[in-house]
Each structure stands twice: as structure tokens, then as C-alpha cells.
Amino acid sequence: MNYENVLQKLGDLKIDSYNNDFLLTWEKSNDEIVATVTLAELFKKLHQNGISLKVFDTGLGISIFRDQSTRTRFSFAAAVNALGLSLSELDEEKSQVAHGETVRETANMISFLAEVIGIRDDMYLGEGDSYMRDVSAAVQQGYDEGVLHQRPAIINLQSDIDHPTQAMSDLAKLKHYFGSLENLRGKKIAMSWAYSPSYGKPLSVPQGVIGLMTRFGMDVCLAYPEGYELLPEVVQLAGDNAQKYGGSFTNVNSMEEAFRDADVVYPKSWAPFNVMQQRTVLLINGDKIGLKELEQACLANNAKFKHWECNAAMMKLTKTGNALYQHCLPADISGVSCERGEVSKDVFEKYRLHTYQQASYKPFVIAAMIFLARIPEPVNAVKRIIERSHKRV
């Protein structure tokens, strides 16, 4: 990697991320998206070469996980540590939140020395993104009123609407695989529902993919069985992006049609939009019986579509029969993690290292998001890191 070329590229971009949150990819300009991916790649290379990315002497990176997580949880921890921050996880059950403390009060109390707050809240449709914006408004008010010395940035680690750290990692992998972001133009990506023996999986991954990849001239094909719709406004956004940026966006009810001549396939299960709406109401009301009944009904409906599996026969339909398989992980692997799932064992094993590489971008994507949101002159700061070349060990 030619560091001078990277610095020149970053310098040519219009970056307006300082003191701004990263909640939805479509709220960021194309230059800011490119800057994030470029910086993530640079951080990845510097780390590989043993160079420290430390830019903070002190400070906290706070994580709030309202759902289970492996990759994103550890990626956030790795990112804040690499930049020189200490990690502190807010366990709401062990905090005063459990006793009714307000979002505004909690947000300010945890932010006195905080630089970033990463939040995962994807379980409640219509609630996760709203909660993140409530936290954002609270820390902004605390900063404006002089309570906080600095305004910590809010990073979306997965909401009910978007999963930007995942979608950006997907984009970084595609850039590396095809050689450049420009080379993505005209490439077909099939974002397809796939069978899973579980229900209630968030909509944010497929929504993040169709919302981001349509900005790079890709031919995005969204596929799902009838009744497994995504949020209408995100689908509309994807269509608008395709028209604006010169790609295409199609919506089909056939996995075979989506896979045909695809350069990239992304088979991933999700719950129907209307099911997530029902689930949110039941969760808020604590209706355990209702949740169990909904789960059983959804699993029975899922079972009608067990043939929606990414297997060797499906992959033969793709361009040259060798499309890139992507997944956010963990995948439901037939004969391994479940009897029947999203992907066959042989296909997953063939592309396993690709999915691991896809995931490996996430710590650096998150580090780039934090860096751009908290460093006022990011290009100069990156230059100092390179010139310093301080070894991690």
C-alpha cells in the first residue's frame, strides 16, 4: 500500500464527520463513505505491519448491547483499544436504568470522559434507531449546556433499520475482492432471504446491503418469499439510489432468479416486516405467551421455504458458477449448526475464509468511524501516525 497515495485520496475527499454520529449509511455522503472504507483499509494495513493506531491518550469507549453479539461486540472493543481508549460496557440490568433512570440522565452520566458510545439495539422494530437518536440528543444537550467537555460520537452497532458497521465491512471486502469501488459498477449482487430454523432475525442486514450497494452502481437484486418484505422506505431508498448512481434495483420472489448470473450472493434469513411489528408490541408488553405463539406460527411458515438454501445447485446459476458468497455470520449451516439452514456445508466451507476476511474488516471500519467522528483534522492525524510508525510491540 502506497501511504502517500492514500493520504492524497483522503485529502481530496470532502469529509464532514467531526462531532457527527454514524447512525445510517444513507445519512453519510459518498465522500464520507469512501473516506471510512479507505481509512479502514489503511488501519488494517498499518496493524498488519505492527504499527500502533493510538491517537487518544485517555478516554472511554462505551458500548451498550441490547442484543447478543460476538463479532460486533469484540470488533468495537478492539477498535476503541487500538485507538487508545478504554472500553466500558453498560449493563443496563446492573445500572440505575433498571430503576427507571431516564435516557437523558444515563447518557450524560456515562459520558463525562467518553469519546464514543456504540449501541446495538435491533430487537424492537421502530425503537432501536429512535433510542440511538435519543442518546444523541441527550449528549448534545449535555455538551451545549457545558456539562460535558466533549460530545461523544454515537456509533450504530446495529439498529432495527441499518447495520452500518456490517454493510461497510461488506463493502470493504467487495472493494478488495474486485480491486476497487469503481469495479463494483455493473456487478450483480443477490441479497436473498434464506431458510432458517429460527425466527425474529432483524431486517437491518439486508436493508443495510441494499441501502449501501445501490450507491456504487451495482445491480442489486432483492429476493424473498412472498410475505417477507423489508421496510418500505428502505426499499424505496434502494430504488432511488439505483436511479441516482446508475445501477439497478430489482425485487423478485425467487432465489433462483436472484442468483442467476450474480457476481455476489448474500443469502441471509430475516423475519417478515409485519412479524417484527407484532413482535415489538409483544416484547414491550412482556407477553410471553403471545411471543411463543408468534414464534410457532413463524417457524411453521419458514418451513414452507426450506428449499431457499444456498447450495451447489444454486451456485451453478451464478456468473461462471463461482460467485462470491457473503454472510454477516453466524450462518445457519445445513448439517453443521442445524439440520437444514441458509447454506449447505460444502458451499460454506468453500467460502469460509472469505467470510472470515469479510468480518475482519469490521474492527477497522469501526475504528475509522470513531476516528473521523472525533478527530478534527483526520488527514493530518493519519499522516502523523504514519510518520511516527510507533510499533505496537
- The per-residue pLDDT for range 93-125, each reduced to its tens digit, is 777 877 788 999 999 999 999 999 999 999 888
Residue 59 maps to which CATH number?
Answer: 3.40.50.1370
Examine the pLDDT at 340 and tell me if it is beyond 80: yes
Residue 151's pLDDT is 97
Q: What is the tally of helices (H) and strands (E) in the chain?
A: 15, 11
Same domain, 266 and 327: yes
The verdict on 156 and 169 lying in the same domain is: no
Taking alpha carbons only, the member of 214, 212, 218, 221 closest to residue 252 is 221
Mean pLDDT across 223-229: 96
135 has a pLDDT exceeding 90 = yes
Share of the chain above pLDDT 90, in %: 90
Mean pLDDT of the chain: 96
Q: Would you say 274 and 297 are in contact if contact means Cβ atoms under 8 Å apart?
A: no
Q: Are residues 26 and 128 in the same domain?
A: yes
- Pair (232, 87) in one structural domain: no
- pLDDT band, residue 91 (cuts 50/70/90): confident
Tell me the pLDDT band of 280, cut-offs 50, 70 and 90. Answer: confident
Mean per-residue pLDDT for 168-188? 98
| Dihedral angle of Cα 323, 327, 332, 334, to the nearest 10 degrees | 10
Question: C-alpha grid cell for residue 32?
Answer: 464520507
Co-location of 36 and 68 in the same domain: yes
Domain identity same for 178 and 194: yes
Quick: pLDDT tens for 289-309.
Answer: 999 999 999 999 999 999 999
Same domain, 222 and 261: yes
Q: Which residue has the cell 467460502?
A: 351
Confidence at residue 384, expressed as pLDDT on a 0 to 100 scale: 96
207 in a structural domain: yes
Q: 446459476: which residue's cell?
A: 317
154 and 45 within one domain: yes
Q: Which residues of 129-148 are buried (b: 16+ CB within 10 A; e: fewer)?
A: bebbeebbebbbebbeeeeb
**Is the Cα dihedral 17, 328, 245, 230 positive or negative?**
negative
**Sign (positive or negative) of CA dihedral 202, 185, 175, 212:** negative
Is residue 393 included in any domain, yes or no?
Answer: no
> What is the structure's pLDDT at 200?
79
Name the pLDDT band for 139 (thresholds 50, 70, 90). Answer: very high
Q: Measure CA 237 to chain center.
A: 17
Q: Is residue 301 part of a domain?
A: yes
- For residue 47, tell me if it sits in a domain: yes
pLDDT digits (tens, 9 = 90+) for 71-88: 999 999 999 999 999 999
Tell me if 344 sits within 8 A of 312, measured CB to CB. Answer: yes
Whether residue 28 contacts residue 20, with contact meaning beta carbons closer than 8 Å, is answered with no
**One-letter amino acid of 278:** Q
Is 203 within the bounds of a domain? Answer: yes
Residue 333 lies in a domain: yes
Domain count, the chain: 2
Judgement on whether residues 121 and 224 belong to the same structural domain of the protein? no
* Structure confidence at residue 252 as a pLDDT band (50, 70, 90): very high
pLDDT at 1 over 90: no
Q: Same structural domain for residues 110 and 240?
A: no
- pLDDT per position as a tens digit, 46-80: 999 999 999 999 999 999 999 889 999 999 999 99
| Rounded average pLDDT over 344-357 | 98
Closest CA to 132 of 151, 155, 99, 152: 155
pTM of the shown model: 0.96
Do 79 and 186 fall within a single domain? no
Helices (H), the chain: 3-12, 30-48, 71-82, 103-109, 128-144, 164-178, 204-213, 232-245, 255-259, 273-285, 288-302, 312-315, 345-360, 362-374, 378-388
pLDDT at 273 over 80: yes
Q: How confident is the model at residue 310 (pLDDT cuts 50, 70, 90)?
A: very high
Inform me whether the pLDDT recorded for 393 exceeds 90: no
**185 burial class (0-12, 13-18, 19+ CB within 10 angstroms)?**
middle
Q: Is residue 103 part of a domain?
A: yes
In angstroms, rounded to a whole number, what is the distance separating the alpha carbons of residues 342 and 310? Answer: 6
Q: Is residue 219 part of a domain?
A: yes
Tell whether 134 and 250 lie within a shared domain: no
Write out the residue range of the structural domain in which residue 57 sits: 3-162+361-388
**Would you say 171 and 269 are in contact if contact means Cβ atoms under 8 Å apart?**
no
